[in-house]
């Protein structure tokens, strides 16, 4: 998702359940040094692949986060809210939020069509 325009830029899919980070690694999608990515804590290890990534700090075993780490996590979460809002808008189409019971081959096409409708709706606003 582009932060300024709030448009969906890139999508990726797999058959069955697969963790987001594994899907990212298999897609081999990379971006330039100028582009930053905000991820959740499930993407631990992404900085080895893509250095311009910001992810929240996790609590270490037996130790709490410092005030600075908590503030940084809140700042990252405040920026990620835009992404989550776009995902929520896309899930208003029930095909994305419910179990998909049609042909799997066409799921990617349908998702991209829904993302296109969302992007076109943004252009109208």
Domain encompassing residue 98 = 20-124
Helix, strand, coil share of the chain (percent; to 5): 50, 5, 45
Residue 1 lies in a domain: no
Residue 5 maps to a domain: no
pTM of full prediction above 0.75: no
Tell whether the torsion through CA atoms of 67, 72, 78 and 83 is positive or negative. Answer: negative
- Which pLDDT tens digits describe the chain residue by residue (125 residues)? 888 888 988 887 777 777 778 888 887 777 777 777 788 888 888 888 888 888 888 888 889 889 999 999 999 899 888 888 888 888 888 887 888 888 778 888 888 999 999 999 988 87
Sign of CA dihedral 73, 1, 47, 16: positive
**46: helix, coil or strand?**
helix
In-domain check, residue 8: no
Whether 63 maps to a domain, the answer reads yes
* Number of folded domains that form the chain: 1
In a domain, 4, yes or no: no
Q: Would you state the pLDDT for residue 75?
A: 92
Residue 13 lies in a domain: no
**Looking at the domain assignment, is residue 83 inside a domain?**
yes
Residue 105 CA, distance from chain mean position: 22
């Amino acid at each position: 998702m582009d932060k300024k325009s709030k448009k969906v830029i890139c999508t990726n899919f797999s058959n069955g359940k697969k963790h987001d980070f594994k899907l990212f690694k298999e897609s081999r999608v990379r971006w330039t040094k100028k582009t930053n990515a905000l991820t959740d804590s499930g993407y631990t290890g992404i900085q080895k692949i893509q250095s311009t990534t910001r992810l929240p700090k996790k609590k270490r075993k037996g130790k709490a986060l410092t005030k600075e780490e908590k503030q940084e996590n809140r700042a990252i979460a405040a920026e990620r809210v835009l992404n989550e809002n776009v995902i929520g808008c896309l899930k208003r189409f029930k095909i994305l939020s419910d179990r998909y019971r049609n042909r799997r081959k066409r799921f990617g096409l349908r998702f991209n069509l829904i993302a296109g409708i969302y992007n076109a709706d943004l252009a109208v606003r």
